[in-house]
């Protein structure tokens, strides 16, 4: 609950919002814990609040560093310690990094608009290989399994039956499964 003391508080806050690969989420959390430990010794430091949101495009981290005064916050922002520690965290980012600073009783930050930008797609040859692996074995199995049923049909109609089934299987099951299974490899550069 918000009380009058909190509204009169002249503290200052610094927000950093970033997205990391799912595989780097735990590493990012460990680096943020180290940052919190080091910040404990910084003059005027109050708290480091971290919100972690796991999602399909990666893991989002919203980090709010709170200080007693704007000068305490500015001193920390100018320190080489901050550059090194926060730089290690920000190095994991796969999208634009949002940074905002607020002073006084204003506890509202502007909406973070940089995070929804998707990470770079996997390299073309990796996408092509996943598509090939999804289609070719399924195509061989379908042609072989459906041969007795589709043999009396004209060739164009046989191909249509196989294409409809293959498209459904690859779109709904095979490609999503391969993408999840090979996610780390797909996004590694």
Supply the pLDDT for residue 107. 54
Supply the pLDDT for residue 106. 52
Supply the pLDDT for residue 125. 93
Supply the pLDDT for residue 80. 82
Supply the pLDDT for residue 69. 87
Q: 59 and 52 in contact (C-beta within 8 Å)?
A: yes
Q: Is the pTM of this model over 0.85?
A: no
**pLDDT, tens digit only, all 189 positions of the chain:** 444 444 445 678 888 888 998 889 999 999 999 888 888 888 899 988 899 988 767 888 998 888 988 888 888 888 887 778 788 888 888 887 887 877 765 555 555 544 444 556 788 899 999 999 999 999 999 999 999 999 999 999 999 999 999 999 999 999 989 988 998 888 787
Bridge partner list, 100: 15
């Amino acid at each position: 609950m918000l009380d009058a003391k909190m509204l009169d508080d002249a503290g200052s806050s610094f927000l950093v919002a970033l997205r990391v690969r799912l595989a780097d989420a735990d590493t990012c959390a460990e680096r943020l814990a180290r940052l919190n430990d080091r910040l404990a010794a910084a003059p005027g430091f109050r708290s480091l609040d971290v919100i972690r949101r796991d999602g399909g495009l990666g893991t989002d981290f919203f980090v709010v560093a709170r200080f007693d005064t704007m000068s305490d916050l500015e001193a920390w922002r100018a320190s080489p310690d901050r550059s090194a520690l926060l730089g290690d965290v920000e190095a994991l980012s796969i999208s634009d990094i949002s940074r905002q600073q607020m002073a006084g009783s204003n506890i509202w930050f502007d909406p973070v608009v940089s995070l929804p930008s998707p990470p770079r797609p996997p390299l073309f040859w990796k996408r092509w290989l996943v598509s090939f692996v999804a289609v070719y074995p399924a195509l061989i199995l379908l042609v072989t399994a459906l041969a007795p049923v589709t043999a009396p049909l004209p060739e164009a109609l046989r191909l249509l039956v196989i294409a409809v089934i293959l498209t459904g299987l690859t779109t709904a099951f095979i490609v999503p499964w391969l993408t999840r299974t090979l996610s780390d490899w797909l996004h590694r550069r």
